[in-house]
């Protein structure tokens, strides 16, 4: 469950739930959440795939040379 959905759920329960920091644009819960981490997550995933591919290629090279 996303942070925005949890906030809305808790707000309906007791009505005094504090607004999550840095979740909503301009601290307005009526606006969609900010996805400022999207570019960073894409870069992290691409780098992770590159590292995995290099390790796999290095392992296959070692095994083929033996």
For the chain, 66 residues long, give each residue's pLDDT as a single digit of tens: 588 889 999 999 988 889 888 888 888 888 877 778 889 999 999 999 999 999 888 877 666 655
Same domain, yes or no: 22 and 3: yes
Same domain, yes or no: 45 and 26: no
Are the CB atoms for 32 and 25 separated by under 8 Å? yes
Same domain, yes or no: 30 and 3: yes
- Residue 51 pairs with which residues in a beta bridge? none
Q: Which letter does DSSP use for residue 29 in this model?
A: T
**Number of domains comprising the chain:** 2
Can you give the pTM of this predicted structure? 0.49
Give the pLDDT score at 58.
81
Token couple for 50: 């590159």
Give the pLDDT score at 13.
92
């Amino acid at each position: 469950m996303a942070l925005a959905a949890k906030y809305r759920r808790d707000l309906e329960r007791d009505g005094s739930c504090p607004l999550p920091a840095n979740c909503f644009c301009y601290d307005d819960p009526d606006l969609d959440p900010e996805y400022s981490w999207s570019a960073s997550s894409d870069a992290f995933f691409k780098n992770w795939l590159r590292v995995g591919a290099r390790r796999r290629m290095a392992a296959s090279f070692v095994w083929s040379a033996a």
